[in-house]
Amino acid sequence: MKRENFKYILIFVFALTAASCGKDYLTVDPKGTQLEENYYQNADEALAGLIAVYDQIGGTSNGYINKFTANLSASDNHFAGGGNATDVNNLQVWSNYTLDPATGPQGELWDRGFSGIFRANVLISKLPGIPMEESLRTRYMAEVKFLRAYFYFDLVRWFRNIPLFENPLSGDQIYDVVQADPSDVYNFIKQDLISAIEGLPNTVPAVTEGGRATVGAAKALLGKVYLQLGEYNMAAQQLEAVNGTPGGTSQYGYSLLSNFADLWVIANKQNSETVFSINATGKANWGNWGCIACAEGNWLCTMSGPRNYNRVDTTAPDYFSGWSFFVITPDLETVMNGDPRYNSTIVNIQALEDAGSVSYEKGFMNTGYFLEKFLPMQSDVNTGGVDFGNFDQNMYDIRLADTYLLEAEALVMANSNISRAQALLDAVRDRVGLPSVPVTMDAIKLERRLELVGEGHRWFDLVRWGDAATALAFKGFVQGKHEVLPIPLLELENTKLLQNKEYGGSL
């Protein structure tokens, strides 16, 4: 699909549809397309606008590329895989670090983030004038500021030099946009999150509102922002509020699941370890390939499956046959071998074929190892898809084991309260039956790699730690270049935006 630039994003936001897409915490019937100036007349329309902002978390008009699929492809844990060397080529070129301003995932990731921001800014500008209960207005304002901060945080980490939009833009302003100093973007993110914390609920009903922002989610995200900036004491303060006593139940009701494997049971949505998740539902009958983004299921499930998988022995796992993306690298398999999380994280399909139990087509960069966390069974398939399982497995954007390890990192880097850092690391390891090891940055780095495979954190972690050049050298990563993505080429046409210096620009 043709990727659209700022101008077309803006037009789309002005013609905001009131339909919900991909959120199973509530249902809003489609109302048709409404001109923005005539919309936002009541609380129902404010809610529809809020849902439209949430919609952008999951991806873009190209359903294949989102935060998860892109970051997995770029990390040392996975190859892009797929059917051949150009299958979803924008993932392939980040996986092998041959991307350039014209080719790569940056267009979809840019559109995802700024579409969300533009929608958020419109709603923020409209909320004060909408007749509705004040408590509801306060909550919606807090949610949309959380979401705006969420999008900005991803964008500034990927691109570094991005525009900062605090208010809606008119069509004639789009060509005069310039990039902001990254420090100004980070300050704006912090302001939005601090403001959001004041108006968000501590908890939400899991069945009816699961996936919506809470105080815990905002504090966790703020802690991640502080950690990214090296403000370690501030990071630890926010993350401690989320985590509570290591191994216990926090003030917001979070606790580690006793069984690591239960995290990947599709029906186990909004469990006690979920801080913020991207919801998926198999209820949509999306109908055809002309609207990939209309599918409300989890694309990662279909993309991760072994290609043309068939059981020869009926006692073998009855996996859904997918497209063989995000195969596990031999290095990760070696590192994980013997870890109690292995069988819930990795499946060796090649070993099953060697034993005569299954057959499968060897995709591009095949290693035989596949991402078990998101590998569904045939019994998990929902009806209504077109050659697509329409799976409703949620994706964790932030979960408690993640925030435990982030707080431990902040404490170790600050050389503060090392006993608490030790307890946090121990709690993650104890959950899977591993003994205590001394808490060091090396131990935390390894634990994050083992615990969070396939969850979209690894590339961000490597860049934050300064370890990307070493860990990703085998993929072609160039130090001083590939820590950031190029500004999408289309965004530079007839605008004042400048390219990052790493890709021949001046910023």
Residue-wise pLDDT tens digits, 428-484:
999 999 999 999 999 999 999 999 999 999 999 999 999 999 999 999 999 999 999
Predicted local confidence at residue 14, as pLDDT: 45
Rounded distance between C-alpha atoms, residue 65 and residue 283, angstroms: 21
CA 380 to the chain's CA centroid: 22
Instruction: Please answer whether residues 98 and 503 qualify as being in contact, where contact means their C-beta atoms are separated by less than 8 angstroms.
Output: no
Instruction: Please answer whether residues 454 and 346 qualify as being in contact, where contact means their C-beta atoms are separated by less than 8 angstroms.
Output: no
Confidence of residue 1 (pLDDT cuts 50, 70, 90): very low
Predicted local confidence at residue 37, as pLDDT: 73
For residue 221, list its beta bridge partners.
none
Rounded distance between C-alpha atoms, residue 64 and residue 303, angstroms: 8
Residue range 278-307, pLDDT digits in tens:
998 876 555 566 666 667 788 899 999 999
Average pLDDT, the chain: 91
Instruction: Please answer whether residues 161 and 487 qualify as being in contact, where contact means their C-beta atoms are separated by less than 8 angstroms.
Output: yes
Predicted local confidence at residue 47, as pLDDT: 97
- 3-state class (DSSP) for residue 434: coil
Rounded distance between C-alpha atoms, residue 68 and residue 71, angstroms: 5
- The CA-based angle 76-60-175, given to 5 degrees, is 110
Rounded to an integer, the average pLDDT of 415-423 is 98
Q: What is the DSSP string of 317-330?
A: --BPPB--BSPBPH
CB atoms within 10 A of CB 440: 15
Listed in sequence order, the residues at least 6 apart from 194 whose beta carbon sits closer than 8 Å to its beta carbon are 222
Rounded to an integer, the average pLDDT of 380-385 is 71
Rounded distance between C-alpha atoms, residue 31 and residue 51, angstroms: 13
* Nearest alpha-carbon partner for 155 in 503, 506, 487: 487
Predicted local confidence at residue 280, as pLDDT: 87
Question: Is the pTM here over 0.75, yes or no?
Answer: yes
**DSSP symbol at 277:** E
User: What are the structure tokens assigned to 114, written together?
Assistant: 């700024």
Is the alpha carbon torsion for 80, 86, 88, 94 positive or negative?
A: positive
CATH of 1-90+102-213+477-507, one of 3.40.50.2300, 3.40.50.1370, 1.25.40.890, 3.50.50.60: 1.25.40.890
**DSSP symbol at 321:** P
Measured torsion, CA atoms of residues 316, 321, 322, 328, in degrees rounded to the nearest 10: 20
Residue range 317-346, pLDDT digits in tens:
999 999 999 999 999 999 999 999 999 999
Rounded distance between C-alpha atoms, residue 446 and residue 44, angstroms: 47
Lowest-pLDDT range, 145-149, 233-237, 277-281? 277-281
Rounded distance between C-alpha atoms, residue 275 and residue 255, angstroms: 10
Listed in sequence order, the residues at least 6 apart from 322 whose beta carbon sits closer than 8 Å to its beta carbon are 301, 302, 303, 304, 305, 306, 307, 309, 375, 389
Residue linked to tokens 């579409």: 115
Segments of the chain assigned to CATH 1.25.40.890: 1-90+102-213+477-507
Instruction: Please answer whether residues 136 and 43 qualify as being in contact, where contact means their C-beta atoms are separated by less than 8 angstroms.
Output: yes
User: What are the structure tokens assigned to 503, written together?
Assistant: 């890709």
Predicted local confidence at residue 235, as pLDDT: 99
